[in-house]
Amino acid sequence: MTFDYDLFVIGAGSGGLAASKRAASYGAKVAIAEQSLVGGTCVIRGCIPKKLMVYASHFPALFQDAAGYGWHVGDSKLDWSYMVNAVDQEVMRLSKLHIGFLEKAGVQLFQSRAVFVDPHTLEVDGRKITAEKILIAVGGHPVKPDFPGIEHTITSDEMFHLQEQPKRIAILGGGYIGVEFAGVMNGLGSQVTQMIRGDNLLRGFDEDIRTGIRTGMTHHGIQIISNVMGKRIEGVPEGLKLSFYMEGQDEEKTLTTDVVLAAIGRTPNLDGLGLENAGVDVVPGNHQEMSQTSTGGYSVNSAIAVDEYSRTSQPHIFAVGDCTDRINLTPVAIAEGRAFADTEFGNNPRIMSHENVPSAVFSQPEAATVGLTEAQAHEKLGEGVKCYRAQFRPLFHSLTGQPEKTTIKLVVDANTDRVLGAHMVGEHAAEIIQGIAIAVKMGATKKDFDATLGIHPSTAEEFVTLR
C-alpha cells in the first residue's frame, strides 16, 4: 500500500515537534497537524509564559531586599497590561520560531485538527490523508471540578490573558500549577488564598520539600486552607463568594474573592480524536489531583496506553507526552519523541528511561528534586535508607533580615552508599539540582559527594558537606 506520508504527527507541542524534526532528518516524509498555536502547552500556555511571570513576581521582594545592602529604591508599580502583553509577544515569537524550524526540517505543517478515520487514515482540514506510521502527541488540558457555580472559575490557560490584575484570588488545588500561581500572584501583589483537599501541598513530593514550600509560602503571606470539602461559588456585588466546608466540621465557611483559579489537574486531549476508529486503547489516567470523591466531584480520566517504545495497541500508532500515562514534563515528551524517531526511522532502537527524571516547582520558595523521595526509598528498601539533610539561612539573606530558609536533602541506600534522591527548597533550586541529577543518574555514592570540593560560598556546596 502506498501512503501519503511515512509519518503523520498529531499535535505540534514539545513531543510532536521533536519527533517530527528528528524523523525528517532521517529522510522520512513527515507532516504534522496542530489546531492551535504551534509550540504546545509549554510554549503557549505553560512553562514559558509561567516562568516569565515568575520572574516578574520576584522584583518586589528584590526591591525590599536591596535596602539591607544600602540601596534606596523608590516607589514601584506594576503595569499589569504591559507585562501580559510582553509575555504574549514572546510566546508568539517562539511559536513562529518553531514554525520556521519545521519548514527548515522539511516537515509539512497543517494548521488544522486531525481525526482518525481508520488505523492509517486521518481527516485533516476536510481531506483524507494516509500515513504508514502515526504519532499522537496531543498533550493535555486543565480540568475543572464539578460543583455549583464552577462556571465562575478560570483555569491556568486563562491566567495569562487576564485584562486586569485581581486584588484577591482563590486557588483550588495543591499541585504544582496551583502552588506556582499562588507564588506568582502573591509576588505581584494580589491577596492569595490557596484551598486544598488534603493536609498538605504537592502530594507525591518528598515530605521535607512539601513542608519547606508551605512554610515559605506562609511566610510570604499566602493563606493556605487544608482539608476543604464540598464547594460552591456564586456571584455577589463584591465579587465571587466561595462557600465551603472543612473536613470534620459542619459549619459552612465563605470567602469573597475576585478570581477563582481551578488548578486541580490536567487530562489528555483525547475527546473527538477518533481513537475508536483506529483501535487505540486507553487506560485510566493517574493525573495530579484527579481522583473520584463523593464530595469534590473530581473524575478519573483516560490516557493512551503505550509500551516502553511508545507503541499503542496498534503496532504502527505511537503516542508520547502528556496524552500518555507517564511523566508529564516537557523534557520527557521531547526525549520520548526523539527516542521514537530514532527507533522507527533512524535504525537505532532505544527507549527513554523514566527513572531519575529531575523536576522543579517554580514556587516561592522554589524547589527541585531528582530520584526517590525518602518515603519511596523506604518502600523499596525498608530500613536500609539513610538521609542527610540541612536547613539554613542563605548568605544573601544575612543582610536582608528576611526569614528565608533553604532545605537540602540526600536520600542514600545504606547498603551500597548510592545516592537515591536529592531534594532542595530554596533559591536557584532548579539550577542546582540539574547538575546534581547527572551524579544521581550516573550512580554516584555519598562518598563521591563527600570527595567533591564545594564552591565557597554557595548554596550548592552544602550538598557535598552533608554529614
Domain range annotation of the chain: 5-141+267-345, 150-264, 365-464
Q: How confident is the model at residue 42 (pLDDT cuts 50, 70, 90)?
A: very high
Q: How confident is the model at residue 50 (pLDDT cuts 50, 70, 90)?
A: very high
Q: Is the pLDDT of residue 33 over 80?
A: yes
**Which residues does the annotation mark as catalytic?**
456
- The CATH class, in words, for 150-264 is alpha beta
Say what the pLDDT of residue 301 is.
Answer: 61
Say what the pLDDT of residue 256 is.
Answer: 98
Provide mean pLDDT across the span 283-299: 45
Say what the pLDDT of residue 230 is.
Answer: 78
Say what the pLDDT of residue 458 is.
Answer: 98
Domain formed by 365-464, architecture? 2-Layer Sandwich (3.30)
Say what the pLDDT of residue 286 is.
Answer: 56
State the angle between helix axes of 47-66 and 80-105 in degrees (0 to 180), rounded to the nearest 10. Answer: 140
Q: What is the pLDDT of residues 344-370, one digit of tens each?
A: 999 999 999 999 999 999 999 999 999
Provide mean pLDDT across the span 143-159: 96
CB 291 within 8 A of CB 300: yes
Output the average pLDDT for the chain.
95
Q: Is the pLDDT of residue 259 over 90?
A: yes
CB 360 within 8 A of CB 368: yes
Looking at the chain, the whole-number percentage of residues with pLDDT higher than 70 is: 96
Q: How confident is the model at residue 294 (pLDDT cuts 50, 70, 90)?
A: very low
Asked if omega into 457 is within 30° of 0 (cis), the reply is yes
Q: Is the pLDDT of residue 292 over 80?
A: no
CB 322 within 8 A of CB 139: yes
Q: What is the pLDDT of residues 389-423, one digit of tens each?
A: 999 999 999 999 999 999 999 999 999 999 999 99
What are the grid coordinates assigned to 40, written together?
504546545
CATH of span 5-141+267-345 = 3.50.50.60
Q: Is the pLDDT of residue 288 over 50?
A: no
Closest CA to 17 of 95, 127, 88: 95
Provide mean pLDDT across the span 2-22: 98
Q: Is the pLDDT of residue 272 over 60?
A: yes
Say what the pLDDT of residue 1 is.
Answer: 81
Provide mean pLDDT across the span 286-294: 40
Q: What is the pLDDT of residues 72-127, one digit of tens each?
A: 999 999 999 999 999 999 999 999 999 999 999 999 999 999 999 999 999 999 99
Asked if 5-141+267-345 and 150-264 have one fold, the answer is yes
Provide mean pLDDT across the span 221-229: 96
What are the grid coordinates assigned to 244, written together?
465551603
Say what the pLDDT of residue 300 is.
Answer: 41
Say what the pLDDT of residue 285 is.
Answer: 67
CB atoms within 10 A of CB 63: 14
Looking at the chain, the whole-number percentage of residues with pLDDT higher than 90 is: 94
Q: Is the pLDDT of residue 287 over 50?
A: no
Closest CA to 202 of 14, 447, 425: 425
Residues 117, 409: Cα–Cα separation, whole Å: 51
Q: What is the pLDDT of residues 309-342, one digit of tens each?
A: 999 999 999 999 999 999 999 999 999 999 999 9
Instruction: Name residues whose C-beta falls within 8 Å of residue 307's C-beta, 6 or more positions apart in sequence.
Output: none
In the 3-class helix/strand/coil scheme, how is the chain assigned residue by residue? CCCCEEEEEECCCHHHHHHHHHHHHCCCCEEEECCCCCCHHHHHHCHHHHHHHHHHHHHHHHHHHHHHHCCCCCCCCCCHHHHHHHHHHHHHHHHHHHHHHHHHHCCEEECCCEEEEECCEEEECCEEEEEEEEEECCCEEECCCCCCCHHHCECHHHHCCCCCCCCEEEEECCCHHHHHHHHHHHHCCCEEEEECCCCCCCCCCCHHHHHHHHHHHHHCCCEEECCEEEEEEEEECCEEEEEEEECCCCCCEEEEECEEEECCCEEECCCCCCHHHHCCCEEECCCCCCCCCCCCCCCCCEEECCCCCCECCCCCEEECHHHECCCCCHHHHHHHHHHHHHHHHCCCCCCCCCCCCCEEECCCCCEEEEECCHHHHHHHHCCCEEEEEEEECCHHHHCCCCCCCEEEEEEEECCCCEEEEEEEECCCHHHHHHHHHHHHHCCCEHHHHHCCCCCCCCCHHHHHCCC
Q: What is the pLDDT of residues 13-22, one digit of tens each?
A: 999 999 999 9
Residues 129, 413: Cα–Cα separation, whole Å: 53
